[in-house]
Amino acid sequence: MKKKTVYRCSQCGYETIKWSGYCQQCGAWNTIEEVVVEKQKDSWIIDKNFKNSNPVRLSEVEVDDSQRIVTSMEEFNRVLGGGIIKDSVTILTARPGAGKSTLLLEISSDLAKKGYRVLYASGEESETQIRARSNRILDEIPENIWILSDISMNNVLKSIEDVDADLVIIDSIQTFVLEEFNSRAGSPIQTIECANALVEIAKNKKRPRAIIMVGHMTKANEMAGLRTLEHLVDTVVFLEGESDEPIRTLIATKNRFGRTGEIGLFSMEDEGIVQIDNPSEFFITKREEDLDVPGSALTIIKEGSRQITVEIESLVSKSFTPYPSRIGDCLRKDQLNTLISILEQRGGINLYDKNVVIKVTGGLKLREQAVNLAILMSIVSSVLGRGIPKDAVFIADVGLTGELKKVPSLEARVRELDRMGYKKVYISKNGLNQKLNLTNIEVIELRTLEEVINHVFYAN
């Protein structure tokens, strides 16, 4: 082994042979630290002779369902592609207070009851704090859960071996340090090196282990740290949700073992996070059978592999200021302003002196253009003070010309509505690519927004 001294920036990892007061790469002041590193001579020989490193035919690699650890939370399993891969590394990030630790503690309890050995390592909470949360959200505390409150990754790696853990929870990766590196916790060097050590122990072919790391989130709603961390792990999962809303959405933005964009829906309750088994019922207000409320319209959205029926509510009121309010916490403000302009110009509805507020029951975010027709129809319903039949659904994008546009996966959406017993669905002309054998629902194909308004409110 050869030892040498280098000077490394604790912010960006830049190395130099001389000390200076600021980093020449990122410009940060007082971040250059002296580091003693050991250089392995002929390190390529170690890699060359690494056990089990010989190439194998892709067709001969065996894959079966036994490689997954399946939890009792179907929503969580769906996001990860069917369960946790036994030699995978997953990172979960969310805003403070969103429920990351609560969700992972519930998963730990569930898998411990199934016989898996779980090590929950926390660099932020003490054992008593974790136990207090467990008493609140868990019916019973299984024997197969071990708790470690320490910021030393060296101690964590030793404890993984001592416990012989099948699942390791790291809460959170930015709070741990390796003794070999002279940097503070949370620095890019420590975060990446700690993650590298966990990846190495997870990918051990003789004893694979599943590891879930918690990652901090920045004010810009992005995972803190270098992008290298995202490239390093197998799966990146975001837990989204406002603190004043019960709904929590789990989204996979990267998944080497399943579909990206898949979502799981949960509700934050007093007893912890509870999965939503029937999302369509959760996002629709239950009303009396003969009651049609003005300002309410239904649509169906595609989230990952599932179709979810949602209710869009609007409130239109007279404005007493020169600049009417346009409020929509479920969609972008620019999108709402564009839709209002289309409605005024192509639908003949004057809103220049009206406040418009849009909301989705349950607080779900609207990310696709297929909901635009439903948004416009809910606004029209509010302006006219007339309710839309609750067995009618709208699925179409609306162009600047007022024409209805086709949307992806329209056939699957219509089939799901037919299965759920809806009576009418409004779509664009020639929107279906194939003829569907439907039982309950009538498909109404129209060309423009004006035709839809006339058909819903003025026909007969």
Cα→Cα distances 456→78, 108, 378, 380, Å:
38, 51, 11, 10
Smallest CA-to-CA distance from 202 within 122, 84, 291 is with 84
| Separation CA 48–CA 200 (nearest Å) | 17
Residue 146: per-residue pLDDT: 96
Helix, strand, or coil (residue 256): coil
Average pLDDT of adjacent 10-residue blocks, the chain of 460 residues: 72 78 80 72 40 75 76 93 93 90 94 96 92 91 94 94 96 91 86 93 92 88 82 93 81 90 87 85 77 90 86 94 90 92 94 93 85 96 93 95 94 92 93 87 95 88
| Separation CA 64–CA 310 (nearest Å) | 36
Tell me if 359 sits within 8 A of 329, measured CB to CB. yes
Residue 427: per-residue pLDDT: 95
Question: Which two tokens mark 443?
Answer: 């498909």
Q: Are strands 296-303 and 306-318 parallel, antiparallel or unpaired?
A: antiparallel
User: Distance between alpha carbon 313 and the CA centroid of its chain, in Å?
Assistant: 24
Residue 228: per-residue pLDDT: 87
| Separation CA 385–CA 390 (nearest Å) | 15
Smallest CA-to-CA distance from 189 within 174, 201, 200 is with 174
Say which amino acid occupies 70.
V
- Helix spans in 88-152 (H): 100-113, 127-137
Quick one: angle between helices 449-457 and 372-384, nearest 10? 50
Q: Are strands 210-215 and 89-94 parallel, antiparallel or unpaired?
A: parallel
Residue 48: per-residue pLDDT: 39
| Separation CA 87–CA 67 (nearest Å) | 8
Please give the order of strands across the beta sheet that includes 145-149: 145-149, 118-122, 167-171, 210-215, 89-94, 235-240, 247-255, 263-269, 272-275
| Separation CA 189–CA 11 (nearest Å) | 8
| DSSP string of 203-221, one letter each residue | T-SSS--EEEEEE-B-TTS
Quick one: angle between helices 372-384 and 333-347, nearest 10? 60
| Separation CA 196–CA 124 (nearest Å) | 20
| Separation CA 163–CA 207 (nearest Å) | 13
pTM of the model: 0.75
